[in-house]
Structure 1
Amino acid sequence: MRIGCRLTYRLTQPTPLIAMLNVHYSRFGDLERADYLVTSPSVPLESYRDGYGNWCTRMMAPTGDFTLSTDGIFRDCGLPDPVAPDVMQHVVQDLPYETLVYLLGSRYCDTDLLSEEAWRLFESTSPGWTRVQAICDFVHSTVSFDYMQASATRTASQTMAERHGVCRDFAHLAIALCRCMNIPARYCTGYLSDIGEPLPHPPGDFAAWMEVFLAGEWHMFDPRNNKPKFARILIARGRDAADVPLTQTFGDNTLAEFKVWTDELT
């Protein structure tokens, strides 16, 4: 697959910027051509790993139009998302310490406002994969997807009340409900291809999904699509979207261009 993106910002003054646009280190070995970050005009880049292991690049963007782009060749296994319907849930006292942070509320996953409703809805489900799938089924069936309803400030409890949103809202609500049920859950962002999907496809975009900790491993769930998909390529993961902004600008800006591609190559 050819994967990449191009984002152009219009800046009124020199602006510090942090980008998180490269394939996650756990999938780096699948890159046949590295998706190096390129800027136009060219500026010095400084890269580092954040507290979650994500690869970040910081820079000072100049006044005017400033473009960030990546373009790589990625070899995917060609198989759909894995499923493991028999895996079970840990009791809290047996969870590894590094997973405990993913039981807590966070900026967009306000578990304190959803706990009572989560237990009312899912207490009778079987702990483990079955319970997580029931949560995804609920979110998928009760929340409608609408690009025009995107909001940078919508929390999980607001999605529950408003019943609409985009993929990050589906993920935030499912994550919050899992945490309420004592299942560690974390937010993921990356590429998701339309390979195998009937035409026409909407314009390319990045996607959000979640991972939950069951039977000693992290397992992927996608409450937005709620079915196995092909060529899901991780960029970053954290507690919620606040931890993994694709770009973080520290000043006024206008997004003038946004393009993402995940094209199958013969």
Structure 2
Amino acid sequence: MRIREVHCKTALSPSSLPGIDYSLNPYRGCEHACIYCYVPSVLSIPRNEWGEFIDIRRNIPTVLAKELKKKKCGTIGISTVTDPYQPIEKKYRLTRLCLEQLIRYDFPIDIQTKSDLVLRDLDLISKLKNVEVGVTISTLRDEERKMMEPKASSIEKRLRAVRVLSDRGIKTYIFFGPAYPTIEMDEVEELVEVFYKTGTNTLIVDSLHLKSGVWENLEKNLPDEMIQIYKKRLFKEKNYYKQIFEEIEKYCKRYGIRFERAFGERN
């Protein structure tokens, strides 16, 4: 892992994501090393380097403090091209330092992570006036998670994080995306029930998008039996995600969970 400390000129970047006006990324690169990640395509980073480096934006809390005084109020996404609570955050605490600046203002905040380290900052998150925290959970099978998201928190830890946040009265959502194409129709009810028990009131779903280099990376890292399932679901069964998401939506209605498709997509 190559770790480099750098200085940034800006902290808040304009975002084109739905519902997000500014993106705040304390790090460039991500230790989680998810093999399907879209970020290498967005930032033009060679896929074989993804997960092998992190740039630490050491001065980002100071830059953020200056920008918050001047920026028009808008929703800040933490983060859009990295995970704000990846393991290195334990040492550098840049996300926490940024939150210390944000509690002084009324900017709506949307935090999204795959790590239970977010619970460390409950004291600050609780002070934010308009915040929601999303936890990404793409499967309930941790053995799959280990192959797809090798250095991210376990599924059990993520579910617990959502429960703790919800119990503290913090608005939460679960991002079921990308949904691994291994989930079967008869597993959907259990999935939604597990999510319901966390106390979250929103479930956002997304399919697996084969950005440049993703399929090759999947073939390189997954066992052949999984690749065969992926081939079938992604290339042959064109209605797979449509049917799965419709079933999820049906059970969300039953459990009183708000259902959304990421980016307003119809699969």
TM-score of the pair, normalised by structure 2: 0.23
Q: Which has the higher contact order (CA 8 A, sep 6+)?
A: 1
TM-score of the pair, normalised by structure 1: 0.23
Structure with the largest fraction of strand: 1
